[in-house]
Amino acid sequence: MTRQVSAAILAACMASVALVTGQTKVTAPDNNYSPADDVKLGREAAAEVEKQLPMLNDDRVDGYVERVGARLVENIPAEFRHNGFRYTFDVVNLREINAFALPGGPMYAHRGMLEKARTEGEIAGVLAHEISHVALRHGTAQASAAKPYQIGQIGSAILGAIIGGKWGGVVSEGGQFAFGAAFLRYSREYERQADILGAQIMARTGYDAREMASMFRTIEEEGGGRAPEWLSNHPNPGNRAEYITREAQSLPVQNPIRNTPDFESVQTRLGQMPPAPSTEEAARGASSGEGTSRAPAGSTARPSERVEAPASKTVTYNEGDVFRITVPSNWRELASEASVTFAPEGGYGAVNGNSVFTHGVQAGLSRNETHGLEEATEELIAAFGQSNPQLRRAGKAARTTMGGRTTLRTQLTNVSEATGGRERIMLYTTQLKDGSLFYLVGVAPDGEWNAYQPVINRVATSIRFLQ
């Protein structure tokens, strides 16, 4: 009898130990920023997101996502709660299955995600994953590690990574062009953390965490041969379904919530609306009246006709730990949404609310990792062409080197929206060690090309990669 009791007690102890050790402990990464920085950056980026992306603005759908999200937020473990964070959920009227989070709490779910989800639990899985990125402060943690620009510019860099832009930052078919990408393209380790913490939050809220894994499977199948947009921000750390399932097994939930009448009625409502556009279609629509180049954020002046010739004196800049570049001393460094532009006074500004540059160079990084140089360059030019319908190739691409790496040099022509005049463009593209595509694009009006071409060429020659 005594022995049996001991055995029962022992079994109970083992079960509770197993439960505790079964849950993976998550530790927020080091972060040089304060939680108040997260709030400020996220708020700035959110204002921009809501201006640039097609928001659904449907009270019933937004209200539903808010309610599911709010219940998950209540179950964020105490150690990951931050004063001042405000978790909000909005729906973007885009077809792809995607979602993203900004520092400090603003979160966005694509309508496509709500439509493709088979259960409320699947929606909760995506939201819990995004909530975890916010709570673990992954955006600014990543910025702490990368830090190419000053803090005031990170908000726009984050934004560039999400919505892309035109020159230097388009969200194209699965390819996003951005330095800012560093801030939003979470590392695989952060992805894993968001999956694990997300699974724990789901279980605490009453959902079966395995539904997160099933939503991720739907997302990965969606792409059809092409990488789904979701994966460009949330790379698969590998064995995703397996470790989420394992975590879920340590988080048993009695009678988990799967479907709710709310879920059914929201899906019916979405089905009655006109179909959501794809990101590409939306970008095309929004880009009518778009300028040559995405822009120095905050510049409001129009580019002028009078632009000082490139100085013969030069200045060298280190762009984070990515590259070094030497440009004429009278060109300003304009860290933009998703790239960095160097242009003379009068050679950049805004047209119809869009930033453009007519003289100078812009450098950016595309995260397209899956193609060879030729193919990646094709995709980049196609992406530029979406917002620059007059963009044309002028001859065949030539092989050269930049920073010691094999490089394609492609000549293009365009009609500048700023001046209405023809402009010439030289595009240099090369793949970095990690497979991402680095580009340098030089622009000048047709009539000034003879003066600018050698300068643009010298700038390209000056590039040194720091990794």
State the nearest-atom distance from the C-beta of 219 to Zn ion, in Å: 11
- Which uninterrupted H or E stretch holds 179? none
Closer residue to Zn ion, CB minimum distance, 125 or 277: 125
424-453: contacts with Zn ion (CB under 5 A): none
- Cα separation, 258 vs 267, whole angstroms: 14
Contacts of 348 (CB under 8 A, 6+ apart): 293, 295, 296, 299, 303, 332, 334, 341, 355, 356, 357, 358, 359, 360
Query: Which of 347, 427, 350 is closest to 385 using CA atoms?
Result: 427
Question: What sign has the CA pseudo-torsion 51, 187, 226, 241?
Answer: negative
Q: Out of 110, 111, 234, 359, which residue is the one contacting Zn ion (CB under 5 A)?
A: 234
Which range binds Zn ion by CB under 5 A, 33-41, 42-50, 234-242, 411-419?
A: 234-242
Give the type of residue at 210.
Answer: R
| CA-CA-CA-CA dihedral for 297, 425, 170, 367, to nearest 10 | -110
The distance from CA 226 to its chain's CA centroid, rounded to whole angstroms, is 17
Which range binds Zn ion by CB under 5 A, 2-10, 229-237, 369-377, 385-393?
A: 229-237
| 182-221 footprint of Zn ion as x/- string (CB under 5 A) | ----x----x--x---------------------------
Question: What sign has the CA pseudo-torsion 183, 28, 467, 185?
Answer: negative
State the nearest-atom distance from the C-beta of 221 to Zn ion, in Å: 18
| 376-415 footprint of Zn ion as x/- string (CB under 5 A) | ----------------------------------------
Closer residue to Zn ion, CB minimum distance, 128 or 154: 128
Closer residue to Zn ion, CB minimum distance, 234 or 359: 234
State the nearest-atom distance from the C-beta of 129 to Zn ion, in Å: 6
Closer residue to Zn ion, CB minimum distance, 186 or 342: 186
Closer residue to Zn ion, CB minimum distance, 132 or 355: 132
Q: How far is CA 195 from CA 126, 136, 199, 217, 285, in A?
A: 9, 12, 6, 13, 35
State the nearest-atom distance from the C-beta of 230 to Zn ion, in Å: 8
CB count within 10 Å of CB 338 equals 33
Closer residue to Zn ion, CB minimum distance, 95 or 234: 234
Give the total of residues touching Zn ion (CB under 5 A). Answer: 4
State the nearest-atom distance from the C-beta of 130 to Zn ion, in Å: 7
Which range binds Zn ion by CB under 5 A, 24-32, 94-102, 180-188, 269-277?
A: 180-188
413 beta partners? 392, 424
Residues of this chain that bind Zn ion (CB under 5 A):
186, 191, 194, 234
